[in-house]
Amino acid sequence: MTDTSTMPTAGPLPEEFREHVSEAIASLSEEITTGPVGADPLTRRAVIHRMLGEFDKAILDHDRAVAAYPLDPIVRCARGITLLQAGQTAAAARDFDQAAELDVWDVETHYQQIAAHVALGQWGQAVEALEAFLNPRDEDLERRLREWEAGRPAESEDL
């Protein structure tokens, strides 16, 4: 299921929603400063900044979230979308590549990854991304399936 933090925005936010958005930013900022910094409030605040067109603030929050949670594919994909909208397509493609490696099953990540490489004219990388999407390789899952079929416990790390 695609997280709403990875969804692009459709354009400028209507003025009547700006007060509500400002309240949301204040609430998330309080959550970020008073508790342990988690990826979710940072990413949500970054997405709100993206919606407002405040890309510098959005990227700062995304960078903090990625630094704290480097193995979270949603965090990387969300930053990639912000970078893409900020005109940093090459950096966005790198985030989508990393997110796709972390989660071979996420359709949104693969779509964004392929689109970014096409936008950059990187046809070889776009084809590789498409092939990875069509034939996902989850090596950990494959190992567990082999062990299950052989009757061995999945806890065994040595093959």
- Residue pair 82/6 in contact (Cβ under 8 Å)? The answer is no
> What pLDDT was estimated at residue 139?
72
Provide mean pLDDT across the span 58-78.
Answer: 92
Please report which helix (H) or strand (E) contains residue 119, including its range: helix 107-119
Residue with tokens 């979308």: 81
Nearest to 41 by CA among 25, 55, 56: 25
> What pLDDT was estimated at residue 1?
38
Provide mean pLDDT across the span 4-32.
Answer: 61
* Domains of the chain from N-terminus onward: 4-150 (1.25.40.10)
Provide mean pLDDT across the span 131-151.
Answer: 78
pTM above 0.75, yes or no: no
Which structure tokens are listed for 72?
Answer: 């979270």
CA dihedral 43, 44, 48, 49 (to 10 degrees): -30
